[in-house]
């Protein structure tokens, strides 16, 4: 999936192209247009730093030295977050991911309760990941590369950094998470789950 693909691109010296954010990818009830533009600009800075590092420059962002894994995570996780929300609010449906969530967590609501708790406690990311046997686990990363598990693929990615919500929600991270839960792109999440470790 995207994390492995992005890491391979950095190792090979290839750059990445930034994803676009069309109207279908920007739920207006999640964050304001200005907040989304600010967040997207931050992501574009990571893409630029990634491409400079892929071309042989030392990895850095904002004048600070970084590890290559930081840049891989910064690009891939932001993309997974942006592409994992949808303005159309698709419902969960009845696919293999939904069945796996029910089997592992006892339902969509208990799973989201665990995701929300993780996101409230994380400094950076809360992620629903699938391991090699496609079992689901909620993991947190305090930064783009700290706390990362080597043997999971992201299915649902929640950006819990303040830059994702502060402009519109202030310190109300739980309020942001409540709205985010309604904006998840379930067809995209099902696609990621189906492609995990294939």
DSSP category for residue 198: -
Output phi, psi for 185, to 5 deg. -95, 90
Q: Encode 24-34: b = buried (16+ Cβ within 10 Å), e = exposed.
A: ebbbeebbeee
8 sits in the region (left: phi over 0; alpha: psi -120 to 50; else beta) called alpha
* Domain 96-195: top CATH class: alpha beta
Confidence at residue 90, expressed as pLDDT on a 0 to 100 scale: 80
Distance, first Cα to last Cα, the chain: 9
Whose CA is closest to 19, among 31, 35, 6? 6
Give every CB contact of residue 196 below 8 A, 6+ residues apart in sequence: 1, 130, 134, 153, 155
Q: Is 196 helix (H, G, I), strand (E, B) or coil?
A: coil
Model confidence over 97-146: pLDDT tens digits?
999 999 999 999 999 999 999 999 988 999 999 988 889 999 998 887 76
Nearest-angstrom CA–CA distance, 153 and 132: 8
Confidence at residue 102, expressed as pLDDT on a 0 to 100 scale: 97
Confidence at residue 11, expressed as pLDDT on a 0 to 100 scale: 59
Predicted TM-score (pTM) of the model is 0.86
Q: Take residue 58 and report the two structure tokens written for it.
A: 């030392």
Domain borders along the chain are 2-83, 96-195
Do 150 and 117 meet the contact criterion of CB atoms below 8 Å apart? no
CA 170 to chain CA mean position, Å: 21
Averages of pLDDT over each 10 residues, the chain, 198 residues? 55 65 61 83 87 84 78 86 82 93 97 97 92 90 70 88 90 93 92 84
Crossing angle of the two packed helices 2-12 and 33-54, in degrees rounded to 10: 40
């Amino acid at each position: 999936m995207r994390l492995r693909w992005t890491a391979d691109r950095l190792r090979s010296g290839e750059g990445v192209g930034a994803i676009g954010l069309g109207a279908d990818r920007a739920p207006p009830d999640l964050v304001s247009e200005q907040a989304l533009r600010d967040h997207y600009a931050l992501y574009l800075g990571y893409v630029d730093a990634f491409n400079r590092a892929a071309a042989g420059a030392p990895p850095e962002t904002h004048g600070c030295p970084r590890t290559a894994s930081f840049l891989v995570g910064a690009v891939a996780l932001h993309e997974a977050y942006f592409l994992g929300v949808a303005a159309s609010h698709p419902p969960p449906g009845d696919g293999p991911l939904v069945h796996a969530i029910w089997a592992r967590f006892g339902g969509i609501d208990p799973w989201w309760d665990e995701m929300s708790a993780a996101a409230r406690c994380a400094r950076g990311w809360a992620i629903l990941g699938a391991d090699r046997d496609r079992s689901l686990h909620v993991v947190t990363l305090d930064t783009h590369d700290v706390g990362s598990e080597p043997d999971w693929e992201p299915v649902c990615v929640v950006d819990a950094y303040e830059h994702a919500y502060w402009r519109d929600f202030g310190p109300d991270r739980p309020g942001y998470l409540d709205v985010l839960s309604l904006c998840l792109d379930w067809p995209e999440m099902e696609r990621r789950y189906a492609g995990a470790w294939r």
